[in-house]
Amino acid sequence: MIQHACFADTLLDAAKEVFETMIFMDLQLCSEPGRRVDGEALMATITFSNSIEGCLAVCTDTTCAEAIAINMLGLEAGADLSVEEVSDAIGEVANMVMGSIKSRLTDTYEGIQVSIPSVVRGRELVNSLGEKSGRVSVQVNLEDAHLMEISLLYRESAK
């Protein structure tokens, strides 16, 4: 079994890898822990199951989500984007981060299966896996301008 602290490191390393190599944005651990994403937020979730099960969530405000989408699509800053384009970009971030996490965990947890991502938009978004689950969360600054929270909810399967 991987320890809780290792999941936090895995989560941060996977997110950094994705943002640096695929989105071309700098991602650093938040210097002000405890801050929350304010206003309307987008939360992309993707579930995983087999010998370990849970949910990865990527949550950020709409301004950060738009900046991510612009970088992913190779557009100029301030470009007009549809709600669907921004949602698709955040969903793809969750998908790529989960893929990176999965590859890092395969030696310990074989056969991890991953769902397709889903994205919700609103205020004070909450996601819960239930009892007997662990949760690691990292708050990160993106390009020294945006706050993002990436969480991994997990529990070992009864299989």
pLDDT per residue rounded down to tens, the chain (159 residues): 556 668 889 999 999 999 999 999 999 988 776 677 778 899 999 999 998 999 999 999 999 999 999 999 999 988 999 999 999 999 999 999 999 999 999 999 989 999 999 999 988 665 555 567 788 888 998 988 899 999 888 887 765
Residues 35 and 146: their CA atoms lie apart, in Å, by 11
Nearest to residue 23, comparing CAs of 60, 62, 72, 65? Answer: 72
CA separation for the pair 105, 143 (Å, rounded) = 28
Domain holding 99: CATH number?
3.40.1550.10
Contact 119, 90 (CB under 8 A): yes
In our burial notation (b when 16+ CB lie closer than 10 A, e otherwise), range 129-157 reads: beeeebbbebbbbbeeebbbbbbbbbeee
Please give the DSSP secondary-structure letter assigned to residue 22. Answer: I
Q: What is the pLDDT of residue 113?
A: 96
- What confidence score (pLDDT) does residue 130 get? 59
pLDDT of residue 159: 58
pLDDT at res. 48: 95
- Residue 154's pLDDT is what? 84
Residue 60 CA to residue 124 CA, distance in Å, equals 11
Name the DSSP class of 23. Answer: I
Q: Domain span at residue 137?
A: 4-156
Task: Count how many domains the chain has.
Answer: 1
In sequence order, the 6+-apart residues with CB closer than 8 A to the CB of 11 are 97, 101, 136, 138, 150, 151, 152
